[in-house]
Amino acid sequence: DLEAANQVLQQDRQRAIETEKMASLGRMVAGFSHEVNTPIGVAVGAVSQVAESAGKLQDLLHGDEVSEELVAGNLASLIDASALAMSNLRRAASLVQSFKRTAVDQTSEIQRDFSLSQLVDDVVSTMRPLYRGAQIHFDVDCDPHVQLHGIAGAWTQILTNLCTNAHKHAFDNGKRAGAIQIRVARESSQVVLRFRDNGVGMEPEHIQKAFEPFFTTRRNDGGSGLGLYIAYSLATQTLGGSLACNSTPGVGTEFVLCVPLHPLKQQ
């Protein structure tokens, strides 16, 4: 009976974890859709201006007399509007590519070669909608030469959960101003990611329970208590590394992820 009850508990826990992962992805999708609407909206407005200026030029060319000054003015408007549309469409395309890589990685357990610097940039980019309106600065320093072979999705999920956790707990859902530092470097035979915030910090008794499943200090605020547990499980079980937490109340919190360095897969 005890074995059967334990098996049911493990199954329920796994379902809760999968639900939380999908909820995290859903929040990311919602934030991304809002973020990508801005450059697309600007591009649509710029293209409308292009059409208007082109129509004016056509009318001028069909007239008996053509004012060089008006033609030059409309051409300048065409050039400016086209440049504005192009820059915003490129911005939208960059967001889409970043989101695509992050979303695919987050739902995939396939091993592949990847740049850790690009992965961190992608995650930070997709998390910006969550931090929109908050006076929280991201300071990222990642060695661009760190190329890994492994499950990129585990790295993506861990970093996403740390960003979400900091927003909710360290900065009180974005109401507090502050900064997040992300440092990634190769140290001996492992890769070390340090995620540090200068938020409210954690009490010693909370640090001890931080990675326990379903532990949260925000139960009444929609917290599931699975974010850090999932990050810890991925770090230790999927990546074969470790995830540690150091914190001082009123000063901030630091998470240190250490993962053994595996060489890139030879083609």
| Bridge partners, 136 (sequence order) | 178
pTM value surpassing 0.75: no
Q: Could you report the per-residue pLDDT of 13-23, keeping only the tens digit for each?
A: 667 666 666 66
- pLDDT of 223 strictly over 70: no
pLDDT classification of 138: cutoffs 50, 70, 90: very high
Q: What does the pLDDT read at residue 266? A: 44
**Span of 41-50, 177-186, 256-265 with lowest mean pLDDT:** 256-265
- pLDDT of 77 strictly over 90: no
Q: What does the pLDDT read at residue 31? A: 62
**Span of 26-35, 56-65, 152-161, 244-253 with lowest mean pLDDT:** 26-35
Q: How far apart are CA 46 and CA 137, in angstroms?
A: 30
Q: Could you report the per-residue pLDDT of 152-202, keeping only the tens digit for each?
A: 888 988 998 899 889 988 999 889 999 999 999 998 889 999 999 999 999
**Span of 27-31, 45-49, 52-56, 73-77 with lowest mean pLDDT:** 27-31
